[in-house]
Structure formats: structure tokens, C-alpha cells
């Protein structure tokens, strides 16, 4: 019997998804104050040290390449406990400068079990950068800690200059606090429908504004782009040495096609779908980016549809130096990261790779032909 999948998950799935997540984060926060609970989690769920999985990205050592992405611990409440669950890094957020309640409509989180996915309509709720940074300050975690910065969701479009100023101000509390800075240049889960950084000159202005911070952590851009935009984004990023890479964003456009969940059921759920169905587009996107970046200074992070060691391995071979997940944790439980890493280590060994870094981009011996959907 698989304890989580056979007993815990069926029980949890009887209740409202957002309520369950809120209760889970409360439990993580409490467990994080207990040395006994953290030691137990590390022993049972932690990924044992493995030289094959260790990697260095942007000058930072990661014990393994499988991270917990933003969206799970939105406000940095459970990092002490979550960092003991076998992940290679933790990404908190998304965090906006000003506090925001997110979307007011309820419900705003939906399970789609037939596709092992979620429909997310949170609208970027956040306690605000100063509060989250204060909560994280002084933490000494066993893995690198990152935070995702995003525009505050005000429910209406904002002037790009105001967005740039606000996001720049949001960075300040985290300088010297986190190891990595993820910058969301397009968030699918807000109510404005406006993305100032679709105009790439605004992206340049944002990065130029970040340059005021001498000690800014390594920056990774979370950004969606068509194929013809990638070169321009890379060109702009080359002007700013603190930009160390990209987490290419993908989105499954409505109407959703090829799902096991009936279309009429999906149509009743607002928000953006996440889940394993996004992996084929992720791999195509990674290949396009990897073919265009300067691999001596930029790295890629894969975050969509990762739920197994095979998924992580395919993303790494397509060009990702790190991977991340959120949705799969809901379906697979706290032992997921360890299982993925064990499977990944076996795959690396089977193919003769001494280290995960050696496998990055291995598939690019073949021509890159897969298109990235616009």
C-alpha cells in the first residue's frame, strides 16, 4: 500500500483544495519549529547525498536539481520544514511589493484528478515583500532559497513605469536574504490581463533598474516568449551580468483539448491549468531556448509537468540545468522529490553520465526542430 496515494490523498480530496492547502501550510509552519519533526522529515523524505545529483548553477551549489517551485509556499511560512523534503532548492512566492488578497471570487483552486492537474485562479495573493523578507531573514536552510518577485495584483492595468518602480522596490528587502531571485515578467494568474514586459524595452528598463543593487542575488527571468522573441530577450539579458538564466514559461490556452476531464467541466473553472499535460510543450520550449542562449553564462530551469525522474531527465537532456514542480506534490505527496531524484540518479548512471551537469542539453546532438507554440 502506498500510504499517501491510497489513504491520505483520498481523505484530503474530500475537502476544498484551498482549505487543504492552507491547513498544510499551517502544519509545515508548526513542524518547522520542531527539530524532531525536521529531523524526521529529513530522514524519511530527504534525498540522500549523491554526487551524481549535485550541480552548480550561477555559482550556487545545489544538492540536486529538483526544486519546489513558487506557488506552494507563497509567503515563506513553511521553508524550514519543506527544505527537508528532498528538494534541491525552495522558491517562495510569488511575492509582490504590496500586500494583496488576490482574486476575491471563490473557489479559486480546483482539482482536475482525471488529468492529475489543477486549475489555479488565486490572483497572486501575497503578504508583501517587506513582510515575507522579514520572515525569511536569518534562515539557514540546507538548500538554496529563492523568491519570485511579481507585480502587485491591483485588479487593473498599471503604467509600465509604475510596475518597474514597484518591482524594483520589491527586490530591496530580499538582497542579502535569499540566494536566488526569480523575476516574473508575465504572470498567467492575475486579473489585469496586461503584461508590461511584452514590450521588451520595458524588460530592459526593469533590469537596468535592478542594477542599482550591488549585491543583488543571481536573477532568473520567468518569461513567456515566441520563438522570434527569444534572441531579443537573450540579447537584452546579456547587458546585465546578474541575469544568470531563464525559466521559460508556457501556458495551455483555452479551450483545453485532449484532456480526460470533460470540456464542459473545465469551462466552469476559471484560471490556468497546470499538470503533466504541459510536458511536451515544455520540452519543445527548452530546446528552442537552449539552442539560443550563451551556455557559458546562462542556464535554464524547467517548471511544468515534472512528476517523475524520467520527466526531470528529459527536461535536463533538453537543456534544463534545474527543474521545479508544484502540482505533482499535491498528487504524489511528501516523498515525491526523493523518488524523482532516485529515479534520476539511476537514469544518469544507465546512460553513463557521472553528474547531472554532464547530461544538460545532451539531446542537442540532434537538430532542434520542435516549434514553440506562440
pLDDT higher than threshold 90 for residue 169: yes
Taken in order of first residue, the domains within the chain and their CATH numbers are 3-365 (3.20.20.70)
294-303 pLDDT, tens per residue? 999 999 999 9
Q: DSSP states of 32-95 as a string?
A: TT-HHHHHHHHHHHSPPP-TTT-EEETTEEESSSEEE-TTSSTTSSSHHHHTTSS-S-EEEEEE
Q: Could you tell me the pLDDT band of residue 255, with boundaries at 50, 70 and 90?
A: confident
Give yes or no for a contact between 25 and 68, defined as CB atoms under 8 angstroms apart.
Answer: no
Rounded-to-integer distance, Cα 333 and Cα 311, Å = 17
pLDDT higher than threshold 50 for residue 283: yes
User: What pTM does this model have?
Assistant: 0.92
- CA nearest to 211, candidates 240, 171, 232: 240
Pairing state of beta strands 272-274 and 117-120? antiparallel
67-88 pLDDT, tens per residue? 999 999 999 999 999 999 999 9
Who wins on pLDDT, 367 or 70?
A: 70
pLDDT higher than threshold 90 for residue 127: yes
Radius of gyration, CA atoms only, the chain: 19
Give me the mean pLDDT over the 9-17 stretch: 96
338-348 pLDDT, tens per residue? 999 999 999 99
Q: Could you tell me the pLDDT band of residue 371, with boundaries at 50, 70 and 90?
A: very low
Amino acid at each position: 500500500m502506498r500510504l499517501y496515494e491510497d489513504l491520505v490523498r483520498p481523505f484530503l480530496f474530500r475537502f476544498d483544495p484551498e482549505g487543504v492547502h492552507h491547513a498544510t501550510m499551517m502544519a509545515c509552519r508548526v513542524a518547522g519549529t520542531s527539530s524532531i519533526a525536521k529531523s524526521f522529515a529529513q530522514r524519511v523524505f530527504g534525498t540522500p547525498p549523491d554526487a551524481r545529483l549535485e550541480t552548480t548553477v550561477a555559482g550556487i551549489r545545489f544538492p540536486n536539481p529538483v526544486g519546489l517551485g513558487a506557488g506552494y509556499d507563497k509567503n515563506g511560512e513553511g521553508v524550514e520544514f519543506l527544505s527537508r523534503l528532498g528538494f534541491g532548492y525552495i522558491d517562495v512566492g510569488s511575492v509582490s511589493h504590496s500586500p494583496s488578497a488576490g482574486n476575491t471570487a471563490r473557489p479559486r483552486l480546483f482539482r482536475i484528478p482525471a488529468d492529475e492537474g489543477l486549475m489555479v485562479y488565486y490572483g497572486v495573493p501575497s503578504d508583501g515583500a517587506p513582510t515575507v523578507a522579514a520572515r525569511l531573514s536569518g534562515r539557514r536552510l540546507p538548500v538554496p532559497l529563492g523568491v519570485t518577485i511579481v507585480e502587485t495584483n491591483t485588479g487593473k492595468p498599471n503604467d509600465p513605469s509604475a510596475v518597474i518602480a514597484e518591482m524594483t522596490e520589491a527586490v530591496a528587502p530580499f538582497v542579502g536574504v535569499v540566494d536566488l531571485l526569480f523575476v516574473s515578467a508575465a504572470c498567467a494568474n492575475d486579473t489585469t490581463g496586461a503584461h508590461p514586459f511584452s514590450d521588451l524595452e520595458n524588460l530592459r528598463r526593469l533590469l537596468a533598474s535592478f542594477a542599482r543593487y550591488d549585491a543583488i542575488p543571481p536573477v532568473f527571468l520567468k518569461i513567456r516568449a515566441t520563438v522570434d522573441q527569444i534572441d531579443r530577450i537573450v540579447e537584452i539579458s546579456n547587458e546585465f551580468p546578474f541575469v544568470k538564466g531563464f525559466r521559460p514559461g508556457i501556458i495551455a490556452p483555452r479551450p483545453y483539448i485532449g484532456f480526460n476531464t470533460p470540456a464542459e467541466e473545465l469551462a466552469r473553472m476559471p484560471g490556468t491549468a497546470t499538470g503533466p499535460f504541459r510536458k511536451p510543450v515544455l520540452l519543445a520550449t527548452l530546446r528552442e531556448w537552449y539552442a539560443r542562449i550563451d551556455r557559458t553564462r546562462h542556464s535554464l530551469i524547467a517548471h511544468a509537468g515534472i512528476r517523475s525522474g524520467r520527466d526531470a531527465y528529459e527536461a535536463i537532456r533538453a537543456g534544463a540545468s534545474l527543474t521545479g514542480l508544484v502540482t505533482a506534490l499535491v498528487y504524489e505527496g511528501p516523498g515525491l522529490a526523493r523518488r524523482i531524484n532516485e529515479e534520476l540518479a539511476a537514469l544518469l548512471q544507465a546512460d553513463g553520465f557521472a553528474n547531472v551537469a554532464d547530461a544538460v542539453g545532451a539531446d542537442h546532438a540532434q537538430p532542434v526542430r520542435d516549434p514553440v507554440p506562440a
